[in-house]
């Protein structure tokens, strides 16, 4: 479906596996749906930021702005 080049998707999946949580368990702990966790881990590009942060907060992280170097 989606290439998993998304660093957030990779981070969440790795953390979940390290903690030996199923996708269902992670969804329940984060208060989001299973479909959301699946979409997040697959790198879906259109997800609600507040829900992404609900998941990331379980791992002590949150989404934030990162400065990019643009040449142009």
Q: Domain-by-domain residue ranges, the chain?
A: 7-57
**pLDDT at res. 72:** 61
Q: How far is CA 47 from CA 9, 19, 41, 64, in A?
A: 11, 23, 11, 15
CB burial of residue 59 (10 Å; 0-12, 13-18, 19+): middle
pLDDT given for residue 3 in this prediction: 53
pLDDT score, position 51: 97
pLDDT value for 19: 97
Q: Residue 4: pLDDT band by 50, 70, 90 thresholds? A: low
- Tell me the mean pLDDT in the region 36-40: 98
**Domain 7-57 is of which CATH architecture?**
Orthogonal Bundle (1.10)
């Amino acid at each position: 479906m989606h290439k998993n080049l998304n660093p957030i998707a990779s981070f969440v999946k790795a953390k979940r596996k390290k903690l030996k949580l199923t996708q269902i368990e992670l969804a329940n702990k984060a208060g989001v749906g299973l479909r959301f966790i699946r979409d997040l881990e697959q790198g879906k590009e259109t997800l609600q930021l507040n829900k992404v942060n609900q998941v990331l907060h379980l791992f002590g992280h949150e989404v934030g702005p990162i400065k990019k170097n643009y040449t142009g």
